Structure formats: C-alpha cells, structure tokens
Structure 1
Amino acid sequence: MDTVPWSTLLFAVVLLLGSWSPLSFAADALPLPQGRVVLTVTGKLAVTNADNKAEFDMDMLAALPQHEFRTATPWTEGEHLFRGVLLSDLLRRLGAEGAEVRAVALNDYHHDIERQLVAEMPLLLTTHFDGKPMKVRHKGPIWLMLPLSDLPRFNTKRYHELLIWQLKSLDVR
C-alpha cells in the first residue's frame, strides 16, 4: 500500500483551511455604486469598493436582505412601516471587525454604538417609510430605527439618541 508524502498532505490541509477562512465568506467583491452615494462606511473593513471604504447607492442597499416592521416613534404620529437593511447584516457583509460603530448624520450629529449592542438588537437602516423611498426633507435617505412598539425596552432616551436620521456614514472602530 502506497503512502502519501507528508509534504503533499500538509499542502492539502493548508489549502483547505485557507479556503475556509472567515474572510473568504465576506470577501465577495462589492460593486461600485452606479447612482448617488447615500452611505459611506469606513474603518476596520475586510470588503471595500473605494479607497479603504465601502460606498453604497440606494440600489446596492436594496440588493442586501431587506427587513421591515411597524412601529411608533417619538417623532411620528401612530405606527408606520419601516423597511431597510439591518445594520448587523451590512457589517457582516463588509467583514467589519471593530468594537464600535460611529454613526454620523448629514448635520454631523453622531453617536457611537457598541458592536455588542448591534448584535443584540434589530437596528434597521431604514430606506423606505410607509412603502416610499425616504427623502432628506423627511429624515432620509437613511434613518436608523428600532421596532420600539414591539421591544419597549428600547423605547428610552438612551436608545432614541442612536436613532439617527439623515444618516450619511458609519465608521467601524
């Protein structure tokens, strides 16, 4: 019976393990935006499409898994339908590694969000409000939102502060 040389076996194991790296799943190429950039993500990312950053237009965000929920907010009357991409899904798609995410609005208001918190709550990058694309004059084009009606523990000032409207960028630190 013939034996396989150790060097051949070692090469096969290294090749196999290399193809199973966690980054190999996130490393799918991110296309370039074809429309107006509405979100820029910087920081500790494995996947980018520009100079050390990931830029998204609305079509790119729409191509990611979509989620929706109805909720009331302190800034609206009654319950409304919010649809968009979960922040956790976006960060996973980019192979993000940092301990926190700084969310920044068009007016430069910002809030730092712990990654642990992102993993624990369904923080939505809302792009559609009651079925219509969000406009800047109505808190768009992206509004961070939580299902406050379904999860009342998040309906506090602490969490309201991170529900940034007119979101323009995220920085993974």
Structure 2
Amino acid sequence: MTVWAGDLAPPTGPVVLTVSGSLERTNARHQASFDRQMLAQLPQSSVTTLTPWTERPHRYQGVLLTDLLRHLGASGSRVKAIALNDYFTHLDLSELSRFPLLLATRVNGREMRIRDKGPIWLILPLSDFPELDQPSFHEKMIWQLRRLELLP
C-alpha cells in the first residue's frame, strides 16, 4: 500500500472507518482510513441516551464527529455517511453543529460488534435534546458505519 501526502499514520489493524473528501491529513490517496486503535487514540466522549431501538438508556463512547473532522483538517458543509450494507444518509453539518454527534465504538464499556450495530454507530443525544427525537433525525443515526464522504 502506498502512503500519500499527509501525516496520519496508516492503520495497523482492520479498517473500520474511511473518510474521504477535502482533508488536510490523510494516510492514503485523498482519504483517511482508521482502525479501532486509531479512533481510540482521538479524544473520547460519551453520551447516555435512549434510542428508538433500545429498551433503556445506554452509555455510548467514542469520538465526536467534530473532533474527527478537526483532526483531519476536513472541510465541507455536508457529510454522506455510509453503512456496511450501503445504506446512507446525509448530515448537514451546520444544522447539526449544536449537537454532539458521537461515532460510538463502545456501548456500556464494551466494544461494539457488527451484530450490536457496530463497529461504529452514529449516536445523537436524543435524551438530552428532545427536539432530535423525531424520525428525520432517527434516520441520521446510522449504524454499522463504514465510510464518511465530505461534500461541499
């Protein structure tokens, strides 16, 4: 694998997330690939929330989308988030900038597996912001996230 310009180390484990678009830091041609360890080395945050798919609140841990994008020197106003099964949704960054969007890699202290909506689940803090608890925002809580594409 050829490493292109950028100062992001290449992943040493299986890639769980790829980010593409206008990035200042990359580890491959025009994109940044992350394994679990690389994501865990970024500033970690947590959100405790109830979701439409859970019977009780859970504590989700991972990196905030804003921290990841800042780390990469990313620019763009929208993000296309794509799951393992090719389901996708668009995130308007200005619309969602008031809320902590978490790329959850752990739930209740356990690493998320594919069967648990992992390895990454985009979590919105529905319990903290009741205005988010509606279908149009539920659609943005993409699980089994594998790719983020920055759009102008």
TM-score above 0.5: yes
Partner of 2:113: 135
SS of aligned partner of 2:33:
strand
SS of aligned partner of 2:70:
helix
Partner of 1:146: 124
Q: Structure 1 residue 117: deviation in Å?
A: 2.7
| One-letter amino acid matched to 1:116 | S
- The answer to whether the 8 Å contact 1:71/1:147 transfers is yes
**Mapped partners of 1:89, 1:119: distance in 2:** 12
**Mapped partners of 2:80, 2:141: distance in 1:** 12
Q: Structure 1 residue 56: deviation in Å?
A: 0.2
Percentage of matched positions with identical amino acids = 52
- The answer to whether the 8 Å contact 1:88/1:118 transfers is no
Partner of 1:83: 61
1:85-144 deviation digits (Å, cap 9, x = unpaired): 000110111111111100000010101111213422100000001110000011000000
Indicate the RMSD between aligned Cα atoms, in angstroms.
Answer: 1.3
1:48-82 deviation digits (Å, cap 9, x = unpaired): 11111000000000000000121111001111110
Can you give the 5+ residue segments of structure 2 that lack an aligned partner in the other structure? none
Change (3 A) 1:44 1:140: same
- The answer to whether the 8 Å contact 2:23/2:31 transfers is yes
Matching of residue 36 in structure 1 with residue 20 in structure 2: no
What is the total number of aligned residue pairs between the two structures?
147
SS of aligned partner of 2:97:
helix
Partner of 1:63: 41
| One-letter amino acid matched to 2:132 | F
Higher strand share: 2
Can you give the 5+ residue segments of structure 1 that lack an aligned partner in the other structure? 1-26
Question: So what's the TM-score if we normalise by structure 1?
Answer: 0.82
Q: Structure 1 residue 28: deviation in Å?
A: 7.6
Partner of 1:160: 138
| One-letter amino acid matched to 2:89 | H
Q: Which has the larger radius of gyration?
A: 1
Partner of 1:24: none
Partner of 1:126: 104
